[in-house]
Every structure is written in structure tokens, then in C-alpha cells.
Amino acid sequence: MDHFLYRNGQLHAEDVNLATIADSVGTPFYCYSAATLTRHYTLFREALDPLPNLICYAVKSNSNLAVLKLLGDLGAGMDVVSIGEYLRARAAGVPGARIVFSGVGKTRDEMRAALEGGIRQFNVESDPEMEALSQVAESMGVRAPITLRVNPDVDARTHEKISTGRKEDKFGVPISRAREIYARAARLPGLKVIGVDMHIGSQLTDLAPFESAYLKMADLVRALRQDGHVIERLDLGGGLGIPYTRANDAPPLPMDYGAMVKRVLGDLDCEIEIEPGRLISGNAGVLVTEVIYRKQAEEREFLIVDAAMNDLVRPAMYGAHHDIEPLIEPPAGAPMAPVDIVGPICESGDTFAKQRALPFVAAGERIAFRSAGAYGAVMSSEYNSRPLVPEVLVSGDHFAVIRPRPSYEQMLGRDSIPDWL
């Protein structure tokens, strides 16, 4: 469920007409619903209760400070993969005790900064990282709390570029070597082993791969405890998918996921951490854009819009689908016709949808790309020297710009020309 609905023939975000925002900030822009973000976070908390748990929002999915503050104020932890994301979480008021540091390429400087600022745990991904973290922590006179990310060799059955739990993927340590590596970690003076971490992919639409991975995790926990390790915490990663289309084959609900977690892992007496990103922020956002031209080609018609692949790269990068709706509600039974929705960038890849059946939308009218709250603004760029688009947060009947559109002067001012040119 989200809070983007038609009211009196106009698409609204909660109680705010999206056209009102467009008139105020221009197009394109991202709009997020505070009510939807809150609802999705709450669904996960309810799904895992009464197990002790912490929902660590995946900052990479949408890292705007206002979004982080909203979720942090609800009690969310944060899953970060760079010191930049860590600093964002801290700037949003999230204490270090609720931040987990993931990622395969943590540098020694990042490790030191997180230890100085406070950290819940490091999810360690390799032997060399483990050695480096121990050395950094020992030099500071502290012990770094760690889980080891274990690769269970489970196919997540998701897009090739976001599958992370197979043995050929770059993430984690092989489950076949996990006991050996845990034994080494226990001997390192700068580390304190506290748990096990696992993450098999993103946008999963079936619980079976999760269950296969978690069954392996449960067996590993029992074996590690037999080896003398104290395992108090299980980080299950994220990855539960969202419905990008309004079809009947929706992904499992958080409640279904929670029931499976309780059944498979509930007897281990561990605190559960999960790292949802897309499921919290994805359907909490839309990208609104205006049609510049309708172009009739020899074999098809194009809607050329003022948003582009630099603003929302998912369709170009992954072939991703986003439902598209006009801001003005079409009348019931309005005829539909196939069109290609494209941006103004000089690449054929700047295509949002091909032969998408839509009601007639004239030049100057606006459309919204749904399910754009995750991996949208965070993956945007200034390709073709197009300024980053604004981000707007709606709560009830009011809205605020939470990242303004930079002026061309600001964009150009970030470059410098050497004196010798």
C-alpha cells in the first residue's frame, strides 16, 4: 500500500496535489510520502515481534537526510556501506549503536572513523578485511564488534546484477570455510565476534531462497556454538521485493517473511537484524515529469519527457519496469495506445518504457513514475550537464523541498580551471 491516489481527478501524495508541487518546484522532481515510509517500517517491526529485533534501513536505497531522520526517529537502525552513508546517518540523529557497517571494500580510514564515532557492528566480508579491522581496533585500544558475512551459495532468483549469495559472487566468505575463519577471528586481539551475517540479493519475490539460506545459517550457528563462539545476533540482510506492477503476483508480505524467520530461526535465542531498503522506500516515492513533445515516427509514437536516464537510471541499467500514470486521471474507459516514453539524453538507452499502453497525454501534461523512492535519486547524476532534480517530502497536507535543484551556476561552480590553462 502507498499514499499516491487520485482525488477529484488529480493524483495526490497523501493530501497534497502533485500538480501543486510541480507548479512550485518545476519538473522533474521526486516526491516521497512520510506516511508510506512510516507504514512500511512499522510493518517490518510488527512482522518480527516478539523476537528481539532491529530494523536497519539500507541507506543506499534512499539516503536523503530527511528520510533517514524520519525512520531514525521511529527507532530504525541504519545499514551503511561507506563512511559517507555513516555520516549521513549520524547527521540525521541516528546513534552509532544503531548503525551496522557492511560492504566488501571498507578502508582502514573508514574503520577508524566508525570506531571513533560509535558503531553497532562491522559485517566483515573477507579474511584481509578481518585482519585490517583487528589491526585498526588494536591500535586504538578497542575491540571491534563483528559478524562475518557468510555466502551460503543460494541462488536468489533475482536480476543478475543484484544477486549476492552465490559462490561466484564477490560478497562474503564461503560457508564451507566459515568455521575456520570464525576460529581465526576469535584469535585476533582487536575483534569481538558477536554474530553471523547473510545477504543473498535484492528484489526477491519468493521466500524459498531466503528459507534455504536461513536454514544453512541456523546449522552454522549451532556448529559455531559447539566450537565455543558466543553468537548473539543474526543479521539476515535485506532483499524482500516490492510490486513494481499492479499485477496479482505480488511479492510476499513482511508478515509472511516474519513468520518464516520465526519458524526457521526463532529457537536460536538471537537478536534478529534485517536490512530492508527497497521495501521501505521504493513505493514511498514517485518521479514526476512533464511531456515536452509527442513525436510520431514511422512505426511508433514517442512521449519525450523532461526526466532522463540520469534522473532515474533503473530502466536503462536493469531494464526495470515502473508503472506510469498521468497526473490527471483519465476517464473510465479511456482508449489506450502504445507509446515509447523516452528522455532528452542523446542515447537510445534513455528509454523508460517501450510500447507502454497509456491514455492520451498531451505535450505540457505530466506523468508520474511509480515505485521510484528506492534507487532513484541516490543513483542520479549530472550526465549531459543536467542538474540533479529536487526531492520533496509530503506529510499530510504539507510538503517541503528536502533537496533543492541546484542552479546552473552552482553546478558549474564545482569545477575549476587551472591557472596554467
DSSP β-ladder status, 121-124 and 144-151: parallel
Task: Indicate the SS3 state at residue 201.
Answer: strand
Residue 19's nearest CA partner among 230, 326, 343 is 326
Residue 127, H or E segment: helix 127-140
Q: Edge-to-edge strand order for the sheet containing 10-13? A: 4-7, 10-13, 16-17
H/E stretch holding 78:
strand 77-80
Set of cell numbers at residue 1 = 500500500
Whole-angstrom distance, CA of residue 105 vs CA of residue 286: 32
The CA-atom distances, in angstroms, between 231 and each of 195, 221, 308 are 5, 7, 47
What are the residue numbers of the active site?
Answer: 346
Round to whole Å and give the CA distance between 353 and 336: 15
For residue 70, the SS3 value is: helix
d(Cα 132, Cα 145) in Å, to the nearest integer?
14
CA angle (302, 306, 312) in 5-degree steps: 95
Cα–Cα distance for residue pair 196/318, rounded to 1 Å: 30
* E strand or H helix that includes residue 341: strand 337-342
> From the centroid of its chain, how far is CA 55?
13
How many C-alpha atoms does 313 have within 13 Å on its Cβ side?
Answer: 11
d(CA 80, CA 306): 32
Our CA dihedral for 244, 248, 251, 253, rounded to 10 degrees, sits at 110
